Amino acid sequence: MDGANSRDRELRQRAEAVIPGGMYGHQAVGLLPDDYPQFFEKGEGAHIWDADGRRYLDFMCAYGPNLFGYANPQIDAAYVRQLGLGDTLTGPTALMVEMAEAMVGMVSHAAWAMFCKNGTDATSMALTIARAHTRKKTVIRAKGAYHGAAAWCTPRPTGVIETDRAHQIFCDYNDVASLEEAVRQAGDDLACIFAAPFKHDAFIDQAEPDLAYARRVREICDQTGALLIVDDVRAGLRLARDCSWSKIGVQPDLSSWGKCIANGHPISALLGAEKARKAAAAIYVTGSFWYQAAPMAAGLETLRLVRDTDYLERITALGERLRGGLAERSKAAGFALRQTGPVTMPLFLFDDDPDLRKGFCFSSEMLARGVYVHPWHNMFLCAAMTEADIDGALDAAEGAFGVLKRNVRDLAPVEKLAFLSAGAR
Amino acid sequence: MDGANSRDRELRQRAEAVIPGGMYGHQAVGLLPDDYPQFFEKGEGAHIWDADGRRYLDFMCAYGPNLFGYANPQIDAAYVRQLGLGDTLTGPTALMVEMAEAMVGMVSHAAWAMFCKNGTDATSMALTIARAHTRKKTVIRAKGAYHGAAAWCTPRPTGVIETDRAHQIFCDYNDVASLEEAVRQAGDDLACIFAAPFKHDAFIDQAEPDLAYARRVREICDQTGALLIVDDVRAGLRLARDCSWSKIGVQPDLSSWGKCIANGHPISALLGAEKARKAAAAIYVTGSFWYQAAPMAAGLETLRLVRDTDYLERITALGERLRGGLAERSKAAGFALRQTGPVTMPLFLFDDDPDLRKGFCFSSEMLARGVYVHPWHNMFLCAAMTEADIDGALDAAEGAFGVLKRNVRDLAPVEKLAFLSAGAR
């Protein structure tokens, strides 16, 4: 293994000198098994190559953005074509109108769209619009739910001060009683309720939205005038060709989008219902690159593929094949593997694995077999995956379960995840 | 004129339906003369084409991002080449390390770099890092200075609540007494002082930084342990091949960058001194597209052009040619035109023009002659401009001053800027 990751090691050393901590944010591998590479060099279809040239079937899909395959020829051609015409200009192009029309045409609750760069831009705009619309301050959101990394919502609040988080009340996702208690606490000051489309917190089992909970959120917003915000940045387009909660018949007032709406090209969006339009027009938000034309060209091509192909049915079938196959193979090896969340955004956790030592061993063995899985964050399927890819991943899993079975009694504790067993999360 | 802007009018109508207010942010033309186009279709070198195919020499340069010309062949080729290899992946590429090395190598005060998407990301990260580093809360910034459009700093705070702006004290840029009064108010809670590299507020004359002010800011930060943040998002690389305050010999602890560091491709950055590294590593910030490789490839090529060409000397000479020529022509026509700020980032304001009716008339006449200037926001020169372009702009100005002279007594009030004369700003 020594020479095999020499380029990654060299890059980490250089990064240590010029990047704080060597790397930051969600793509830092500090909380992954030690053999996970930090640096990559290539992506094509469903595969990535690390800096040492090793190829993996990638179940992270860039943490979501890759929906139609890395370096998708049609989508990237649209980007490059527009780049030659004009990208970041002194004003927007017609593509901004077309992209807004396309998203409004696709998402049932939406009457308008605003584009930005980060998912966090979209959720932060949603919060500001809700406060402008209601002239109230309090936001209710679920404990542990990720809605971005600005001061008001970042999961690790170092450098964040108390006032950044003022007027926020937390409830438990899917727990109507705790929701109602939060609403009671908000009194007559409720501006909005945030909801992930399903519970996709890190480190724990995922959970589908409970219909009673979703309906109660809608009802409370209707009664109080607060806005219901579905944060579809992570899950958007992997559950539905519409807002993810359209599947359970609950329409939000605002929905945030990003990640894969241009298949990895940088654009995010906030969509809104008619009643929030005036407030949306009244706030001041902007960014140097928000009106870039090339990501919108790529987005239009992505949305065309969303409309015109069976990508959703295909990734769903692939996800079911993966889930069924893993259930079979884990059972055969004698492991209780909990597979939670939608099949297109799976998370695997082992029973009796408080510091994830089983998960780390399994993931490392998958990696060694050319399959990149994540031990504690939900994964993502993409339309470039094939049945043969899934079957290959299942073969890898069979091997990984075998190694795990032989070594399970001697696995070392995962020091870096000791906080999990300590109940820190 | 009726058929000449028919495409722009059609797009505005469609936008009105699907974008709140028809357009938002700094590229909305609501506060520009009525004949300014909202939509564009092309950029090449120093020129843009509006949606109706009219070509302009563009003195806005996309509000800064265009430094080496729109659709710069070398920079865009670097982007496209990397796009074919890998862009938004499951981790960063070696280019992130190279881009950090390049920026740290270029900017004297910097020991490390973090990359993000919006200028606002970089200024917000600076604030959080300063609070993490000092464990104090209060920020001092200058009245009217733009540092982004998040809740803590957006210039139009609709939907923003009081707590979003807590622990901020305002002083007057270049006024040492008001700075010291702000520091006194901060007591022992000062986390940081923000400084624009020069005063580049909208609607008013620009001003170079006063050396005594800049040195006093540095001194106060040294005495209190607060961090000095120079917000170079807008001015970076147009004044120096280093942090803009390096010209006056004052080094910040943190500097924010964006706009033109990849010539319009979407990337911004926060650079920091060694002492802030630990705090920078401790905060949690991230974004779906922050680790994109293609903008970093474009950034590396941009920085190579910064190092290896005389772009800065050329845009400075062009800026001087423009300033001198305009001074001559305005004087000949009998107008007192105040040209303020660095010559590479000029702003023109007429004497005795409280609602900018002269500025609007002049700008419209320039536009009609194929030169896009801004009546109240600083402009930007780019390295794709030529002496012939500047001379053409001066010819246009001669014509525009002539029209202004004939009509100056009959100019209609600019209703949309009535707030200026009302002293609202």
The Cα of A7 is separated from the nearest Cα of chain B by a number of Å equal to 9
CA B356/CA B200 separation, integer angstroms: 18
List chain B residues with pLDDT less than 50.
Answer: 1, 424-425
Where are the CATH 3.90.1150.10 domain residues in chain B? 3-63+310-421
CA A85/CA B38 separation, integer angstroms: 17
Model pLDDT for residues A15-37, shown as the tens digit of each residue: 999 999 999 999 999 999 999 99
**What is the SS3 assignment for B350?**
strand
Provide CATH code, domain A3-63+310-421: 3.90.1150.10
CA B122/CA B266 separation, integer angstroms: 13
**DSSP bridge pairs for B221:** none
**DSSP bridge pairs for B207:** B199
Q: Which of B26, B41, B137, B285 to mutate to test the interface with A (most CBs of A within 10 A)?
A: B285
Beta carbons of B266 and A266 less than 8 Å apart: yes
Look up the CATH architecture of domain A73-308.
3-Layer(aba) Sandwich (3.40)
The Cα of A173 is separated from the nearest Cα of chain B by a number of Å equal to 23
- Cβ–Cβ < 8 Å for A49, A58: no
Residue B1 has a pLDDT of 46
Helix intervals (H) in A187-310: 211-224, 277-282, 294-308
Residue A3 has a pLDDT of 67
The Cα of A394 is separated from the nearest Cα of chain B by a number of Å equal to 21
CA B201/CA B349 separation, integer angstroms: 13
CA A316/CA B228 separation, integer angstroms: 52
**DSSP bridge pairs for B256:** B231, B270
CA A32/CA B108 separation, integer angstroms: 35
Model pLDDT for residues A393-415, shown as the tens digit of each residue: 999 999 999 999 999 999 999 99
Beta carbons of A281 and B94 less than 8 Å apart: no
| Per-residue tens of pLDDT for chain A, all 425 residues | 456 789 999 999 999 999 999 999 999 999 999 999 999 999 999 999 999 999 999 999 999 999 999 999 999 999 999 999 999 999 999 999 999 999 999 999 999 999 999 999 999 999 999 999 999 999 999 999 999 999 999 999 999 999 999 999 999 999 999 999 999 999 999 999 999 999 999 999 999 999 999 999 999 999 999 999 999 999 999 999 999 999 999 999 999 999 999 999 999 999 999 999 999 999 999 999 999 999 999 999 999 999 999 999 999 999 999 999 999 999 999 999 999 999 999 999 999 999 999 999 999 999 999 999 999 999 999 999 999 999 999 999 999 999 999 999 999 999 999 999 875 44
Model pLDDT for residues B212-238, shown as the tens digit of each residue: 999 999 999 999 999 999 999 999 999
In whole angstroms, how far apart are CA B357 and each of A324, A335, B30, B203, B350? Answer: 71, 77, 15, 13, 9
Residue B423 has a pLDDT of 59
Where are the CATH 3.40.640.10 domain residues in chain A? 73-308
- Contacts B265 to A, Cβ<8 Å: 87-88, 289
Beta carbons of A94 and B287 less than 8 Å apart: no
The Cα of A409 is separated from the nearest Cα of chain B by a number of Å equal to 32
Beta carbons of A39 and B158 less than 8 Å apart: no
The Cα of A289 is separated from the nearest Cα of chain B by a number of Å equal to 6
- Contacts A71 to B, Cβ<8 Å: 83-87
Beta carbons of A51 and B84 less than 8 Å apart: no
Beta carbons of B90 and A156 less than 8 Å apart: no
Model pTM score: 0.97
- Cβ–Cβ < 8 Å for B358, B385: no
Which tokens hold the place of A48?
A: 């990535």
In terms of Cβ atoms closer than 10 Å to its own Cβ (0-12, 13-18, 19+), residue A195 is: buried
Q: Which residue among B26, B150, B288 places its CB closest to the CB of A124?
A: B150
DSSP-derived secondary structure letter, B248: G
Helix intervals (H) in A39-159: 73-85, 94-106, 119-134
Element of type H or E holding B372: strand B371-372
Q: Provide DSSP, A345-406.
A: S-EEEESS-TT-HHHHHHHHHHHHTTEE--SSS-----TT--HHHHHHHHHHHHHHHHHHHH
For A149, list phi and psi in degrees, rounded to 5. -130, 30
Beta carbons of B284 and A158 less than 8 Å apart: yes
Beta carbons of B91 and A38 less than 8 Å apart: yes
What is the Cβ-side half-sphere exposure of residue A187, based on CA atoms within 13 angstroms? 4
β-strand A55-58 against A371-372: which pairing, if any?
Answer: parallel
Q: Which residue among B39, B90, B167 places its CB closest to the CB of A372?
A: B90
